[in-house]
Amino acid sequence: MKKTKVIVLADNAKTSPSRLLRYIASLKISGIVAKETCFGGYIEGDAELVDELAKKIREFERNRIFCRDRGYPIWDKRRCRAFRGGGPREGFHQLEAEQKVLDKVGLALDKIDREGLMPMEKVLKKEEEIIKKEKPLDVEKFKEIVKKYVQKGA
């Protein structure tokens, strides 16, 4: 069974899409098709082979390279800009938005690697402290804010 994965590089990755593809090519795994994109790339081939390759790619630059399954093969005429006359493909803007936070996700993963996971009791205690600091918004103040913005037409 064939599988396609999306490989997304965080903004703070040292790896570029072209370097990523050179790394994939250097592994000389037959039966894998790889395509460079502005955000990283795609890999496609036998499902087990693709999953194994994705693990190797992630280790190439841990916490800066992210992988997920793609629902369509590379060069699928329903999705590929070359066949649809250009423009962003469906889902591109969502992927772009997700990529913008991956650098922060990578930094959080780095911290977990260094310090381990925070115990749940500590997480719950911090959450409780934050909730205590928050003050509910007065209903009249809320109405005033809504009225102000409704009048502006915002």
The list of the chain residues with pLDDT below 70 reads 152-154
* Max Cα-Cα span within the chain: 67
Query: Domain-by-domain residue ranges, the chain?
Result: 2-115, 120-152
User: What is the rounded average pLDDT for all residues in the chain?
Assistant: 90
Which residues does 64 contact at the CB level (< 8 Å), separation at least 6?
Answer: 9, 10, 12, 13, 14, 15, 102, 103, 106
Stated pTM of the model? 0.72
**CATH topology classification for 2-115:** Alpha-Beta Plaits (3.30.70)
| pLDDT tens readout for residues 85-124 | 777 777 777 888 888 999 999 999 999 999 999 899 999 9
Residue 71 pLDDT = 87
